[in-house]
């Protein structure tokens, strides 16, 4: 075999997180600019994907039972109407990431 390079997992994580932390710190210096707000929102959305993949079903159940209407949307739909398509997206994404997982385990 050829020489294989072994990089520890912690070094890879630090190599990804430190530049991201510097970029976010620079962008948060002026948080009201539209580009700063967009980048920070995008980074937080990407970082929340693993949590949403894990807690998709409980979030959907809780939003279904909650009588919450976002007042900023026209027509004031219930929260479950907004989270149902998002839940479907995360269910498909979860299935594509882990095809062996079964959604309904008895």
Q: What is the DSSP letter of 31?
A: T
Task: Tell me: pLDDT of 32 over 70.
Answer: yes
Please tell me whether residues 61 and 106 are part of one structural domain.
yes
| pLDDT tens digits along 61-72 | 877 777 777 777
What is the number of structural domains in the chain?
A: 2
Please tell me whether residues 101 and 65 are part of one structural domain.
yes
- Averaged pLDDT, 23-42: 82
| pLDDT tens digits along 34-46 | 888 888 888 888 8
> Rounded CA gap, 84 and 68, in Å?
14
Please tell me whether residues 7 and 33 are part of one structural domain.
yes
Burial 13-42 (b: 16+ CB within 10 A, else e): eeeeeeeeeeeeeebeeeeeeeebeebeee
What is the domain extent for residue 106?
Answer: 55-106
Q: Is the pTM of this model over 0.75?
A: no
Residue count of the chain, please give it: 106
> Token pair of 65, please?
């039972």
Please tell me whether residues 21 and 64 are part of one structural domain.
no
């Amino acid at each position: 075999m050829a020489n294989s390079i072994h990089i520890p997992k912690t070094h890879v994580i630090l190599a990804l997180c430190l530049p991201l932390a510097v970029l976010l710190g620079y962008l948060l210096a002026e948080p009201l600019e539209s580009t700063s707000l967009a980048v920070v929102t995008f980074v937080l959305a990407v970082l929340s994907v693993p949590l949403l993949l894990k807690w998709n079903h409980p979030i959907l159940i809780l939003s279904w039972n909650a009588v919450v209407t976002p007042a900023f949307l026209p027509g004031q739909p219930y929260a479950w109407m907004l989270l149902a398509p998002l839940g479907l997206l995360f269910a498909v994404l979860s299935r594509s990431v882990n095809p062996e997982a079964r959604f309904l385990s008895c």
